[in-house]
Amino acid sequence: MDHFRYKDGRLYAEGVDVSKIAEAVGTPAYIYSKATFLDHLKKVQEAYSELDTTICYSIKACSNINILKFLAQAGSGFDIVSGGELFRAQQAGADTTKIVYAGVGKTDQEIVDAMNAPIGYFNIESEMELENLIKLAREHDKNPKAALRVNPDVDPKTHTYTTTGKKESKFGVDIERARRVFEEYGKNGQVDLCAIHVHLGSAGKTVEPYVEALEKTLKLIDDLRADGHTIEAIDLGGGYGADYETNTAPAAANYAAAIVPMLKGKNLKLILEPGASVAANSAIMLTKVLYLKKGGKKKFVIVDAGMNDLIRPPLYGSFHFIWPAVVEDKFMPGKRQKDMNIDGSEIVDIVGPICEGSDFLAQGRSLAPVQRGDLISVFTAGAYGYTMSSNYNSRPMLPEVLVDGDTFTTIRKRQTYSDLIALEKV
């Protein structure tokens, strides 16, 4: 699954004791495993190798250019949602023709920069956006390719904030409108509208919604082709589940076992946009216990990482397995799960220093006994961890550390107080 393992009661990232990293860079800190990133990417690549497939890793999940660089070297393209992400991909040496650009609010400058790159496909979210792309392409003498994002009205049963494939979503158009879009713009002569994009949302835990969405989308493609439109590719987006708890999400091979047979013989290129399924298990956030406190019947473990460092638990109610970095044999975790059911573990709220009642990493959670100064690991923190962090309460952003075998490198330095105000000086 990943390369974070306990050895003799101590947590290792690949071949490095995470306590050694804490001594070098302090806490809190994000620690990444290069081998885990590459293993998860390879599993997706191999699962869909029977088809003409382009894997476009979703930069928004984890965007450090040092990580993007080795993913590009391993053959990955990229899914982007902003001009800044395009810039990151270019700085990482990406093949820009393997970039797809999504997002409902692309600015004119972002569109022009992407055409000049040039990227592979624009994922179009509305008729007005397509009209604007046609206008800009004509003005700049470009002929970009585009995929219309279609909402198949399928619910992957995830958090409401991460569900994007319903009719009511701000993203894309429904299937009925998709036909009208092709009727009006499919042969505009400037932008090659030649693909369909589908993205159900994030954190999918079953294969069935993707099968249902693909069935509806293939029927649409057949109809569009019958009307004389050329559809060369289908982009099935991302959102494939990651194991925040052990064995709770299908493997890439399980998704592919259902999807690949449906696409064989369809004369379609396949584009996939995995993010969390590649990045999530590739990192931990390491934090330190500051204080222990009792409040009524509750026990609090107060740590030096807060919701500004990892906002997913208070924002989405998401689960991250949390366990000490050094444990006795009887507290060794067998699996990542909410209730470890180990004699001697305690039920605690793990909270941070932010001045907000919503500042927690876990509530009512089993945890092996800890003391002030102990290190605690927050697992499966690679996706939407650092990328959604902030300077709230004027807290410096964390360092990012990349482990490769027996060595580790700081790939982003911890911010200083001077960094906090560097852009504010008059």
Tell me whether residue 384 is annotated as binding.
Answer: yes
Tokens of 414: 């911890």
Could you give all domains of the chain from N- to C-terminal order, each with its CATH number?
4-32+281-421 (2.40.37.10), 34-279 (3.20.20.10)
What was the pLDDT predicted at 181? 96
| Biggest alpha carbon–alpha carbon distance for the chain | 70
Bridge partners, residue 55, by sequence: 272
Question: 56 catalytic, yes or no?
Answer: no
What was the pLDDT predicted at 153? 82
Using the Cα atoms of residue 112, residue 118, residue 124 and residue 130 in order, give the sign of their dihedral.
positive
Say if residue 399 is preceded by a cis peptide, omega within 30 of 0.
no
What was the pLDDT predicted at 241? 87
What was the pLDDT predicted at 257? 97
Say if residue 209 is preceded by a cis peptide, omega within 30 of 0.
no
Residue in 56, 62, 194, 355 annotated catalytic: 355
What was the pLDDT predicted at 162? 44
Residue 168 phi, psi (nearest 5): -80, 0
What was the pLDDT predicted at 297? 87
What was the pLDDT predicted at 157? 57
Q: What is the mean pLDDT of each run of 10 residues along the chain (426 residues)?
A: 92 98 98 98 98 98 98 98 98 98 96 98 96 98 97 67 50 89 96 96 82 95 97 95 87 95 98 96 98 94 98 95 95 81 89 97 96 98 98 98 98 98 90
Instruction: For residue 279, give the nearest of 134, 78, 419 by alpha carbon.
Output: 78
What was the pLDDT predicted at 143? 98
Asked if residues 274 and 282 have their Cβ atoms less than 8 Å apart, the reply is no
Tell me whether residue 312 is annotated as binding.
Answer: yes
Instruction: For residue 57, give the nearest of 35, 81, 33 by alpha carbon.
Output: 81
Question: pLDDT, tens digit, for every residue of 38-89?
Answer: 999 999 999 999 999 999 999 999 999 999 999 999 999 999 999 999 999 9
Question: pLDDT, tens digit, for every residue of 39-49?
Answer: 999 999 999 99
Q: Which CA distances in Å does 167 have to 108, 145, 175, 346?
A: 27, 25, 9, 44
Tell me whether residue 239 is annotated as binding.
Answer: yes
- CA distance linking residue 308 with residue 317, whole number of Å: 15
- CA 63 to mean position of chain CA atoms: 9
Instruction: For residue 248, give the nearest of 240, 236, 256 by alpha carbon.
Output: 240
